[in-house]
Structure 1
Amino acid sequence: MSVEVRILEKKQANGAGHVRELIDHQFANYKDWVHSKSGDIDWVKRFLYNQTIVSRIGVEIQVSGRSDLLARDIVHIRNNLQDSHIDVGVIVVPSDEFEYFLTDRVANFSYAVRYVEKELREAQSYPIILLAIEHDGFSDEPLPKKKTNEGKG
């Protein structure tokens, strides 16, 4: 699964929410990935053998939003592991370089690793994979930013 993402080479010029939408759209193109309801694991895939579920993977996409939401994603994964809804969790974050060009105070890969190793050390005992994504190069145009909380004047 892949999606091409080209960005403007300027600090915080590119909409992180747009990156999230692109990723979600790619997941939605695959019928074996199930989008979970709000407040749960973002995407779940069940691996089958002879119509029997042999493994389930849960993916949390953390490319838009505040970096403190990383803790919530880890809790979602932990709870789903403990409730036997998934067998392994993946948290997707932007690479350190990519994050520099995105809006929002999103967790980059170094922050995510440091958080798991230093702040929430119990997460090291869970089958969680931290996965960094990167952009595909530069463009003359920034990724669009979402408009939120527009004041009425």
Structure 2
Amino acid sequence: MIITNENFYGGSMNKINRLGLTDIYIEVKDIISSTYIEILDKTNSNSAGEVRKRLDNEFLSREWIKENKNGLNWFKERGVNQEIIVRLGVMLQISSRSDSLTRDIVLLRNSFYADNIDACILVVPNDETGSYLTDRTPSAKDVLRCLEVDFKEAANLPIVVLEVNYDRIGRIMPKLY
């Protein structure tokens, strides 16, 4: 996949750098770039679930920790010393429904408040790719509206939104049933 835009909120880049998480942030970008996605350029025709599955497999192969609560999908942690652990979380907003986006962001906020993570990356299809994926999949405009309009409090959290695009127009990515 191709990262088309990076949006930084709540001092996220400064926090990632200050906590020594820059290499993990770069690893997330590499995981995304290593995930090859070919889709048919037809509205609502390609499987968002398959895109998500491919990204999940890539995170798993890089030994990320799977998280099924707190709004996260994956995280990686690093010990700064014997007592302090810093964590970078990843939320894949690929195959979820756009109408549950605010709920997901609330769960993410709660993860910050509970000190489960120190910074988070939201991976979301850019608007073009989102239009080709199954209906109700959120796209960048949905996530940015949620952060900047609907749930402004979240824009103060250390979140990076990575907008991603497919690699190539080609064959349809079949829907998972």
Common fold: TM-score over 0.5: yes
- CA-atom RMSD in angstroms: 1.7
Q: How many residues in Structure 1 have an aligned counterpart in Structure 2?
A: 145
Q: Which has the higher helix share?
A: 2
Q: Which residue of 1 aligns with 2:24?
A: none
Percentage of pairs with the same residue = 37
The equivalences for 1:1-153 within 5 A come to 1=31, 2-31=34-63, 33-37=64-68, 40-49=71-80, 53-139=84-170, 141-147=171-177
Change (3 A) 1:137 1:52: farther
Instruction: Output the CA distance in 1 between the equivalents of 2:50 and 2:84.
Output: 33
Q: Which residue of 2 aligns with 1:151?
A: none
Deviations 1:46-90 (A, max 9, x none): 023466655211111111121022212211211111111100112
Q: Which runs of 4+ in 1 moved over 3 A?
A: 48-54
User: TM-score normalised to the size of structure 1?
Assistant: 0.87
Instruction: Please tell me the residue identity of whatever aligns with 1:6.
Output: E
For structure 2, the 5+ residue unaligned runs are: 1-30
Q: Secondary structure at the match of 1:72?
A: helix
Higher Rg: 1
Instruction: Output the CA distance in 2 between the equivalents of 1:27 and 1:52.
Output: 26
For structure 1, the 5+ residue unaligned runs are: 148-153
Does the aligned pair in 1 maintain the 2:70–2:111 contact within 8 Å? no
Instruction: Output the CA distance in 2 between the equivalents of 1:107 and 1:125.
Output: 21
